[in-house]
Structure 1
Amino acid sequence: MIGFIVAGLIIGALARLIKPGKQQLSILATLLLGLVGSVIGGTIANLLGTGDIWELNTLGFILAVIASVALIGVAEGIAQSRKH
């Protein structure tokens, strides 16, 4: 469980580094988006037959970072719409 949280934080941080611009996200939001992204990436990797959803593998990690970048974009869009 702690490994899952650490991986989520790393994935979220990497996604924030990849996503251009300054994000107004807290460390908790980064962690949550990283965790959700890692579940999405692990699920897709599992469907492709590269391993178990809870197992860290290269394809799952890459897909998790991509999913987290997309989730950060969605979170920014929601935050922008609430400001207006």
Structure 2
Amino acid sequence: MSTLGTILVGFIVGLLARALKPGNDRMGLIMTTLLGIAGAFIARYAGTAMGWYHEGEPAGWIASIVGAIVLLVIYGMLRGSSRRV
């Protein structure tokens, strides 16, 4: 059940990140979910490295959304530069 929970939380975090970041981000549900899951992982590892979280402790919702927004910006820059070629 934890895998399904992670996917569900990742989907919600991805949707919130896409809603909070201005601009038109064209991506499907799978990419949105992967973005949210990756954002949560980035938030957890960055928080552990900075001492905000302890090992094995999940990141908070806000940190996960911030991590997903960072990934969304990077994804948009990479996708935008590949379209110019």
TM-score (norm 1): 0.83
Query: CA shift at 1:42, angstroms?
Result: 2.3
Cα pair distance change 1:50/1:62, threshold 3 Å: farther
**Identity in percent:** 26
Match of 2:12 among 5, 10, 13: 10
**What is the match of residue 71 of structure 2?**
71
Residues 40-79 of structure 1: pairs in structure 2 closer than 5 A: 40-46=42-48, 47-49=51-53, 52-53=56-57, 55=58, 60-79=60-79
TM-score (norm 2): 0.82
Q: CA RMSD in A?
A: 1.7
Q: Which runs of 5+ in 1 are unaligned?
A: none
**What is the match of residue 81 of structure 1?**
81
Corresponding residue pairs, total: 80
Query: CA shift at 1:82, angstroms?
Result: 0.7
In structure 2, C-alpha distance between the alignment counterparts of 1:73 and 1:49, rounded to whole Å: 24
Q: Which runs of 5+ in 2 are unaligned?
A: none
Cα pair distance change 1:69/1:35, threshold 3 Å: same
Q: Which aligned segments of 4 or more residues in structure 1 are displaced greater than 2 angstroms? A: 42-47, 49-53
Q: 37-46 or 20-29: which moved more?
A: 37-46
